[in-house]
Amino acid sequence: MTKNITDSVYYVGVDDKTLDLFEGQYVIPNGVSYNSYVITDEKTAIMDMVDQKAAKEWFANLDAVLGDKQPDYLIISHIEPDHSANLSEVLTKYPDIKLVSNAKLFGMLPNFFEVPVEDRCVVVKEGDTLELGNHTLQFVMAPMVHWPEVMVTYEVADKILFSADGFGKFGALDAEEDWACEARRYYFNIVGKYGMPVQTLLKKTAELDIQTICPLHGPILSENLEYYIGKYKIWSSYEPEDQGVFIAYSSLHGNTGEAAKELARMLESKGVEKVVVSDLAREDMAECIEDAFRYDRLVVASPTYDGSLMPVMQDFLYHLKIKAYQKRRVGIIENGSWAPMAGKLMKEQFEGMKDIEVLENTVTVRSTLKEEDKKNLEALAKELVRQ
Ligand code: FEO
């Protein structure tokens, strides 16, 4: 599929609805798009490539836009294979094409491709421009907006920001779904650790007059851009997006789960508008990470298992740690039939995280939920709703 973004800028990307796991780990029920673009002018530029799986359709899309014209430039903003896998074929098919990117990317390129490119590279740095004719490309470095070599490109005439993975989203382009839901899951799981670099990029691009954002995954954004940029400002600052409590639990026989649900009922009766309860063993882990970042309060509930935590809770907390989880109030519920340890172990996991307030009183359930436990849950609910 190709489509016009302007009368000289084309979408030539490809939807992938057959991939089981994105990056080998994230479920994508509605697929994913690998976005690529072409700018036609006196000089023609291809903006990024696609995944190996999508090569055939991508080259067909290029043929449809280029006809028998040879492209002059391939702009590479990110060397990750979902956007660069076709490089060797591109170099063969277009023998005069020049590769345009920054020194960092060209330094990483041989890790992926054993092809000689030295005499075909145009090295650009922050603020450099490339004239195509009526169009001018201006390069903005965006290190660690996923990988260290990332850059974004601003096209001056049409005011388009080619934003690399920024503003990306899971889901094929024809998926009818809320942008924020799958963009948030994508952001926190893939880019979430790099909040500061995203903030730096947002500050740099704030000086540009942007009318369209063309990311490497997900829809092209051309209306209401302040909504999307506003979401990125919140997400990259690690501030909560919504008031609410996310209760993440693991449960061997349902008793810890019952405690989690009882707490949810108490919170709702106290007027908390949004309470989300997830069984970590059954929900998508990436969705749970998203919800942990979305709300301002978190409760973790786990039984003691082999003198440690249930592995799925350990995994959840590990994910939070490597994604730089911070700035939240956290409550803890533990269960243990003979030697409860889970509360202490969960608390320890939060100690290394920044600006986390762990509520003092861990609720300890001994096997099944009893009246005394409900009183303790009530006390925890009160702590969670205090201002
Ligand atoms: Fe879509 Fe970081 O690659």
Distance between CA 331 and CA 382 in Å, rounded?
11
What is the structure's pLDDT at 2?
87
Rounded mean pLDDT of the chain? 97
Query: Which tokens hold the place of 326?
Result: 């911070």
pLDDT at 118: 87
Is 370's pLDDT higher than 90? Answer: yes
Find the 60 Cα to ligand 1 centroid distance in Å.
22
The reply to whether ligand 1 has any atom less than 6 angstroms from the CB of 217 is yes
Q: Residue 1: is its pLDDT beyond 80? A: no
Residue range 87-114, pLDDT digits in tens: 999 999 999 999 999 999 999 999 999 9
CA–CA separation, 284 and 248 (whole Å): 12
pLDDT tops 80 at residue 233: yes
- Expressed in angstroms and rounded, the spacing between residue 82 Cα and the centre of ligand 1 is 6
Measure the CA–CA gap between 321 and 363, rounded to whole angstroms: 23
Residues 33-39 have a mean pLDDT of: 98
Q: Tell whether ligand 1 has an atom less than 6 A from the beta carbon of residue 80.
A: yes
Strand partners, 4: 10
Please report which confidence band the pLDDT of residue 119 belongs to, taking 50, 70 and 90 as the band edges: very high
Instruction: Provide the pLDDT confidence category of residue 159 given band limits of 50, 70 and 90.
Output: very high
- Report which of 190, 184, 291, 276 is spatially closest to residue 234, judged by C-alpha positions: 184
User: Rounded to whole angstroms, what are the CA distances from 228 to 166, 191, 293?
Assistant: 10, 15, 17
Please give the pLDDT value at position 252. Answer: 97
Measuring from atom 3 of ligand 1, which residue has the nearest CA?
80
How many angstroms separate the alpha carbon of residue 296 from the centre of ligand 1? Answer: 28
Q: Which residue has the tokens 């190996």?
A: 52
Whether the CB of 169 sits within 6 Å of ligand 1: no
- Angle between helix 255-269 and helix 371-385 axes, rounded to 10 deg: 50
Percent of the chain with pLDDT over 90: 98
Average pLDDT over residues 120-133: 98
Q: Residue 146 CA: which ligand 1 atom is closest? A: 2
In order, the DSSP letters of 257-317 are: HHHHHHHHHHHHHTT-S-EEEEETTTS-HHHHHHHHHHEEEEEEEEEEETTEE-HHHHHHH
**Ligand 1, closest atom to CA 168?**
1
Q: For residue 120, what pLDDT is reported? A: 96
Evaluate if residue 191 carries a pLDDT over 90.
yes
The whole-number pLDDT of residue 387 equals 79
Q: State how far Cα 380 lies from the chain centre.
A: 32
Average pLDDT (219-248) is: 98
Ligand 1 lined by 109 (C-beta under 6 Å): no
